[in-house]
Each structure stands twice: as structure tokens, then as C-alpha cells.
């Protein structure tokens, strides 16, 4: 049996390898975002919020928590306090009561209280449209500032969370080892058309398709553009048991003794 030709002998692999030069990487990034954005041209955050302030609070609460979990907590929190003034009046203990289901809720409650107090003291109770001012607030780092600047103010920022970090590396858009390095690489590649949406498109792709443990490559719209290997295949449907009703020797109660 003849040996398979090596790639350098002219055969193209099925999936495209990550191109090394910037122009090619930009072109591929555009094709990826065009495909991801085809059915969702204006994606938004899944964190429920009413205005820049409630968005800021929701993003601070989302550290190491799911958006669904944060939304469950903020529904009662924002019913009680949806302005910095009301949040300060609620106090740290009062805030903690609403967010007990979230990890690190005591620290998060302190951050929300203190950032609300500082918004009143420094910014007239408004969320500043300024990265340095945002990052000076407790509990607010670069990622949170990027989300708020993007979602609340329409800035072309790109927040790198765990999903964006993983997806960017799998797609060969970055080989950065830190969120800051991946952010820098992506900002150099994302075309203007997708500058605001790229962050959401990559998050949603990572959350629902390109999952950490088992990416769903078999139904991925950008499979042909992705150099990540191995690609996963769909699981075969589970075989139905021959008997669906319990039998006399399978009562469904393993602890029950036959009498
Ligand atoms: S789901 Fe699979 S094919 Fe799609 S981007 Fe992720 S690793 Fe690549």
C-alpha cells in the first residue's frame, strides 16, 4: 500500500491550517465571523439588565457564575435596587441576601456596594464611558470594562472570557497564553463590520457549540475553517431497551427486599 502523500507534496488537508500571515488570518477571521453572524447579525449579551448600571452589576456578579444563575439572582436584586443610591441603601448584607446562590457572594456583595458608593461619589451616580474610570471600581477588571463599553456604549471592545479564549485558540486566531494576548490578537484580525459583535459571536459559539469538553464539531457552521483536531462526530442515538416496562425482577427499587 503506497504511503499517503505528505501535505508539502501537494495534498490539501480537509480542514484549513491556521495561516501564518496577517492578511490571510484577517481574511479567515472575516469568513469565520460572517458564518457565525449569518443567523445572528446583532447579538446581545444574555445577562439581563435595564441600563448601564444594572449591566455593570450583572457583569461583576457573573465572575465564575453562569449567566442563567446571575439572571435568577438579579431578578430579585434589581426589583429591590436598580440604582446606585438604592443599592447603597440596601447595604452589603441586603445585597448578599439576593445573591446567595452565586459563588463568592460575600465578596461580590461588597464589590457591588462599594462600586455603587463610588459611582455616586465620583460620577454622579452614572456609569462612566471610560476604561480607566471603570477599572478603578472594585470588582471591575479589563474584561468587565470591555463588556460594559461594548454592550452599554457600543464601543468596539472585545472581552476575552473563558469561551472566547478557548474558541480563538482552537480556530487558530490566536496562540496567546493570556486573555490580554488573545484580545490583542483578535483586535488585529476582526474586521470593522464585526468589531462590536465579534465578542458576542465568539462567546455564543463557545457556550453552545465549541464547548470545552466536547465541542459539537459535527454541526459546526465553521468546521471547514477550523484547524482544531480531532473533530468530534455525532453520538449514535441511544439504543432503546427491548422491554420498556419494569419486570418482576426489576422493581426499580434496589433497596427493597423481595417478600
Ligand atoms: S466546534 Fe469543532 S469545528 Fe467548530 S470551531 Fe469548535 S473545534 Fe472547530
How many structural domains are present in the chain? 1
**pLDDT for 70:** 98
Task: Give the model's confidence band at 241: pLDDT under 50 very low, under 70 low, under 90 confident, else very high.
Answer: low
Task: Give the model's confidence band at 255: pLDDT under 50 very low, under 70 low, under 90 confident, else very high.
Answer: very low
Residue of 10 and 150 predicted with greater confidence: 150
**Hey, which of 231, 232, 233, 234 would you mutate to test ligand 1's pocket, going by the most ligand atoms within 8 Å of its Cβ?**
231
State which residues form the domain around 98: 52-130
Lowest mean pLDDT among 10-14, 27-31, 160-164, 247-251: 247-251
CA of 9 to the centre of ligand 1 (A): 27
Task: Give the model's confidence band at 259: pLDDT under 50 very low, under 70 low, under 90 confident, else very high.
Answer: very low
CA of 215 to the centre of ligand 1 (A): 6
CB contact burial 15-50 (16+ within 10 A = b; e otherwise): beebeeeeeebbebbeebbebbbeeeeebebbbbbe
> What's the rounded Cα separation, in Å, for the pair 69 and 73?
6
Q: Which residue's CA is minimally distant from atom 2 of ligand 1?
A: 217
Domain contains 85: yes
* pTM for this predicted structure: 0.80
**Sequence-separated (6 or more) residues with CB below 8 Å from residue 190:** 29, 33, 158, 198
CATH number at residue 80: 1.10.340.30
End-to-end CA distance of the chain: 66
| Interval 160-180 mean pLDDT | 95
Which residues are annotated as catalytic? 143, 161
Using an 8 Å Cβ cutoff, are 160 and 183 in contact?
yes
Domain contains 223: no
Domain contains 115: yes
Domain contains 243: no
Q: What is the pLDDT of residues 76-129, one digit of tens each?
A: 999 999 999 999 999 999 999 999 999 999 999 999 999 999 999 999 999 999
Q: Is 226 in the pocket of ligand 1 (CB under 6 A)?
A: yes
> What's the rounded Cα separation, in Å, for the pair 203 and 166?
10
User: Ligand 1 atom closest to Cα of 209?
Assistant: 1
CA of 28 to the centre of ligand 1 (A): 14
Domain contains 105: yes
The Cα angle at residue 155 between residues 154 and 159, in degrees rounded to 5: 110
Amino acid at each position: 500500500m503506497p504511503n499517503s502523500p505528505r501535505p508539502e507534496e501537494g495534498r490539501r488537508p480537509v480542514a484549513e491550517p491556521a495561516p501564518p500571515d496577517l492578511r490571510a488570518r484577517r481574511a479567515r477571521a472575516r469568513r469565520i465571523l460572517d458564518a457565525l453572524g449569518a443567523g445572528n447579525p446583532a447579538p446581545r449579551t444574555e445577562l439581563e439588565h435595564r441600563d448601564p448600571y444594572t449591566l455593570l452589576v450583572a457583569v461583576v456578579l457573573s465572575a465564575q457564575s453562569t449567566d442563567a444563575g446571575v439572571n435568577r439572582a438579579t431578578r430579585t436584586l434589581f426589583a429591590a435596587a436598580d440604582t446606585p443610591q438604592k443599592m447603597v441603601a440596601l447595604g452589603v448584607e441586603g445585597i448578599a441576601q439576593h445573591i446567595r446562590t452565586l459563588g463568592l457572594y460575600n465578596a461580590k456583595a461588597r464589590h457591588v456596594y462599594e462600586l455603587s458608593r463610588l459611582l455616586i461619589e465620583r460620577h454622579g451616580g452614572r456609569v462612566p464611558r471610560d476604561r480607566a474610570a471603570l477599572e478603578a471600581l472594585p470588582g471591575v477588571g479589563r474584561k468587565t470594562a470591555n463588556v460594559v463599553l461594548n454592550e452599554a456604549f457600543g464601543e468596539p471592545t472585545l472581552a476575552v472570557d473563558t469561551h472566547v479564549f478557548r474558541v480563538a485558540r482552537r480556530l487558530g486566531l490566536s496562540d496567546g497564553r493570556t486573555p490580554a494576548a488573545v484580545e490583542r490578537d483578535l483586535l488585529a484580525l476582526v474586521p470593522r463590520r464585526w468589531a462590536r459583535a465579534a465578542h458576542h459571536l465568539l462567546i455564543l459559539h463557545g457556550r453552545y457549540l465549541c464547548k470545552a469538553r466536547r465541542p459539537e464539531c459535527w454541526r459546526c457552521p465553521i468546521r471547514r475553517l477550523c484547524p482544531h483536531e480531532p473533530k468530534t462526530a455525532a453520538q449514535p442515538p441511544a439504543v432503546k431497551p427491548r422491554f420498556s416496562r419494569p419486570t418482576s425482577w426489576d422493581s426499580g427499587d434496589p433497596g427493597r427486599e423481595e417478600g
